[in-house]
Amino acid sequence: MFQLLATNQTARRGELTTNHGVVQTPVFMPIATAGAVKTLMASEVTALGASVILGNTYHLLLRPGEERMRALGGLHTLMRHDGPILTDSGGYQVFSLANLNSTDEDGVTFQSHIDGARIRLTPASSMAMQDAIDADIMMQFDDVAAGVSTRERYDDAMRRSLRWAKESKAAANPSRQLFGIVQGGTHEDLRKVSAEGLIEIGFDGYAIGGLSVGESRVDTFRITKMLGAMLPVDKPRYFMGGGMPEEIVYYVSVGVDMFDCVLPTRNARHGMLFVWKGDPAECVREAFARAQDGAADFRIADALYEKVQITRGVFADDTTPIDDHNDGAPTSQQYSRAYLHMLFKIEEMLAFRLATIQNLRFYLRMMEELRKCIAGS
Amino acid sequence: MFQLLATNQTARRGELTTNHGVVQTPVFMPIATAGAVKTLMASEVTALGASVILGNTYHLLLRPGEERMRALGGLHTLMRHDGPILTDSGGYQVFSLANLNSTDEDGVTFQSHIDGARIRLTPASSMAMQDAIDADIMMQFDDVAAGVSTRERYDDAMRRSLRWAKESKAAANPSRQLFGIVQGGTHEDLRKVSAEGLIEIGFDGYAIGGLSVGESRVDTFRITKMLGAMLPVDKPRYFMGGGMPEEIVYYVSVGVDMFDCVLPTRNARHGMLFVWKGDPAECVREAFARAQDGAADFRIADALYEKVQITRGVFADDTTPIDDHNDGAPTSQQYSRAYLHMLFKIEEMLAFRLATIQNLRFYLRMMEELRKCIAGS
């Protein structure tokens, strides 16, 4: 299902074939949390250069629920998205959003953050929900330890996740792809046990979970680089939930293939835009070269973008385009910063949409250029 | 500037030439209150069949203000709208939104509903602001009496509006069109004095103001019919701020040419959709025939639409399109009611957008068909 097309040092250029088309990697996957990439239609997300869209199992389990999702024909039908869909397992949201009641060896019991309803999630029920969503790529159900947990907690969660990996595989609809998730916090030995255990079970791809959850960026980079070097070369690697553009450039340089992150869309809604420093091809080429040279993260960022906080007063009179260099986002080249500033001041929904388009296109364009950097074309 | 092309009994089909193109009347003008038709780009509003877009002088005076609006090149430039723009005078919003301090013979003093700033609006300053917006069609500054006011208050406001009409004309940039506004509440004699006074001054068009503000629909219809019969045939007539589809069909049948209303967009944001009863051409033909026959308003409505409150539970499982008949609104034909229901439940911005598209297209399509009913084509 995954074909490695080219490498550049440890960076990889590949093709991932799914039930809904071929994905060019490295790839960034916009997040349609509860059935929509906020403010946008699926066709618009695709027009910005996206292929895979990510759906959140936890949110869709609460609304519309498994039975109704199945009856409605799944998320492709609802969103009218013909491309691939990847779903997470719900595990992370249970820990971060829900009122968690208990974790036992078989699964978790939690209360919905919407209506307080008591819900049970297990490897088998997570697979069933992801199947109802009609996901092309499913994630194993995992136990996510994060933040100030002890080594014992990380060890315990990692071993439980390994057991759940096996149970997920046993329960998964084999016509869909299934990824295992490496856990173990910032402990290299635990990460190694996790990765080896998953490889032994055998998955269509391997995700790096439990990072970008509050640890220092030095630790994130260290663990990601270590896993980039040890995960199977013939399977895609997916860094879950990260990150800033400079982080993604770094992760790509150490061999990661797939990414998702709320930053481009969430920051957009707060008026924070990623704006190209110049020609995108040149910016990304320079950033990628710096990442390969082991440059500090802020130096990678410095080659790529300026943060434009469009709500600042200085933009009220700025008649220049939102981002002249962001080709593929016509609205960013057509509308002025003054107009976008004005729309943010009145909290007009169009503001969130124009900003979302700017940031999503920035990320997707960055991936296009990263792919060229690796393939040498 | 206005050419009458055809009539059908008292209904009129015309062409209004402006600095930014020719408008086919009867016309419905979507409202871009503070610089955007909520959730939509101007190009999308145009694609739905709109020609004129309406801007609110009051909102734009508060933000971005006259000086900045002029420096930014006006609303066409900001919104990137090449078609005509009509602006109201700000008078109505001062009375309905602002904290009004005082009305004197020269103008009004009020406090901004945003930051409490003290602002003065006069016929001359209203003209200056509408000029800064770069309006193609401007409205005279008027004194709006509404609701439970006494006859004396209506009389007084009407006569003040007449004086301000003269002052507005004297202050207006003559390269833009200027409309007078007929006032006088539901009192036919006051309306007559107002209309005759305005005609004597001479305007590019005549608006019917101070209706649809709480009076009974019988009174609204009676005054509108009376004015339809007495306003100059060679100038456009504009019913300000109304109304439901059945009202617009009626107003068209008695000779009104131009309309604006928040209903299609505001109702959309509350999940209330106007959905065609069947083929739009047949629906409008039947509704127009009923209006010409003097049918009751609810019978006109009955020929046109069903109200679909998409947030109701019954739509959670409805896989049929939002409105199969609403050609020109592809999203209404592509997305299911179940999906739109789901998006409303999570308060996703895309929900407001899809609903806005449905309702705006309904109104604009209705106007297209009304024009055909009159021209006989």
A377: confidence class by pLDDT, cuts 50, 70, 90: low
What is the average per-residue pLDDT within A327-332?
97
pLDDT of A263: 97
B266 phi/psi in degrees, rounded to 5: -65, -45
User: What's the pLDDT score for residue A102?
Assistant: 86
Q: Please give the average per-residue pLDDT across A128-152, as a whole number.
A: 92
- pLDDT exceeds cutoff 90 at A48: yes
Joined together, the tokens standing for residue A328 give 């593929």
- CA–CA separation, B72 and B66 (whole Å): 10
Q: Which alpha helices (H) appear in A297-348, and where do they start and end?
A: 297-304, 330-334, 337-345
pLDDT in tens, B153-202: 999 999 999 999 999 999 999 999 999 999 999 999 999 999 999 999 99
Beta bridge partners of A7: A12
Q: Answer with the residue of higher pLDDT: B167 or A94.
A: B167
CB contact at 8 A, A230 and A188: no
Q: Which of B252, B211, B202 is nearest to B232 (CA)?
A: B202
Residues 6+ away with beta carbon under 8 Å from A3: A14, A15, A17
**CB-side exposure of B351: number of CA atoms within 13 Å?**
22
Contact B343 A41 (CB under 8 A): no
In Å, how far from its chain's centre is CA A72?
26
> Per-residue pLDDT for chain B (377 aa), expressed as one digit of tens each?
899 999 999 999 999 999 999 999 999 999 999 999 999 999 999 999 999 999 999 999 999 999 999 999 999 999 999 999 999 999 888 878 777 778 899 999 998 888 888 989 999 999 999 999 999 999 999 998 877 679 999 999 999 999 999 999 999 999 999 999 999 999 999 999 999 999 999 999 999 999 998 899 999 999 999 999 999 999 999 999 999 999 999 999 999 999 999 999 999 999 999 999 999 999 999 999 999 999 999 999 999 999 999 999 999 999 999 999 999 999 999 999 999 999 999 999 999 999 999 999 999 999 999 999 999 65
What confidence score (pLDDT) does residue A113 get?
A: 83
Bridge pairing between strands A27-28 and A31-32: unpaired
| Calpha distance B231→B75 (Å, rounded) | 30
Q: What is the pLDDT of residue B115?
A: 87
- Give residue ranges of A with CB < 8 Å to any B CB: 34-36, 38-41, 59, 63-64, 68, 71-73, 77-80, 316-317, 319, 331, 334-336, 338-339, 342-343, 345-346, 348-350, 352-353
Instruction: Specify the pLDDT at position A258.
Output: 98
Query: Do the beta carbons of residue A125 and residue A133 sit within 8 Å?
Result: no
Mean pLDDT of A317-342: 98
Q: What token pair was written down for A362?
A: 């920035």
Q: Report the SS3 class of residue A76.
A: helix
| Peptide bond between residue A26 and the one before it cis (omega within 30 degrees of 0) | yes
In terms of DSSP bridges, do strands B27-28 and B258-259 run parallel, antiparallel, or are they unpaired? parallel
Write down the pTM of the prediction.
0.97
Tell me the per-residue pLDDT of A241-259, one tens digit each, with 9 for 90 and over: 999 999 999 999 999 999 9
- pLDDT for position B92: 85
- pLDDT at position B3, please? 97
Residue pair B110/B96 in contact (Cβ under 8 Å)? The answer is: no
pLDDT the model gives residue A93: 85
E-state strands within chain A? 2-8, 11-18, 21-25, 27-28, 31-32, 53-55, 85-87, 99-103, 108-111, 118-121, 137-139, 177-182, 205-208, 237-239, 258-259, 272-276, 305-309
Cα nearest neighbour of A81 on chain B: B335
Which chain B residue is nearest to residue A346, measuring alpha carbons?
A: B34
- Cβ atoms of residues B258 and B235 within 8 Å: no
- The C-alpha atoms of residue B132 and residue B71 are separated, in whole angstroms, by 9
Q: For position B224, what pLDDT does the model report? A: 98
- Per-residue model confidence (pLDDT) at position A313: 97
* pLDDT of amino acid B377: 54
Q: Is residue B219 helix, strand or coil?
A: helix
Strand order in the sheet with A11-18: A2-8, A11-18, A21-25
d(CA A322, CA B78): 12
Residues in A closer than 8 angstroms to B331, CB to CB, are 41
- Which candidate, A55, A62, A50, A59, places its Cα nearest to that of A77? A55
In this structure, what are the phi and psi dihedrals at residue A351, rounded to the nearest 5 degrees? -60, -50
Q: Residues A86-93: what's their mean pLDDT?
A: 91
Q: List the single residue in A63, A68, A352 with the smallest CB-CB distance to B349.
A: A352
pLDDT, position A283: 98
Burial class (CB in 10 A: 0-12, 13-18, 19+), A53: buried
Interface of B with A (CB under 8 A): 34-36, 38-41, 59, 63-64, 68, 71-73, 77-80, 316-317, 319, 331, 334-336, 338-339, 342-343, 345-346, 348-350, 352-353
Q: Which of A298, A305, A293, A280 is nearest to A370 (CA)?
A: A280
Determine the pLDDT at residue A92. Answer: 85
Longest CA span, chain A: 60
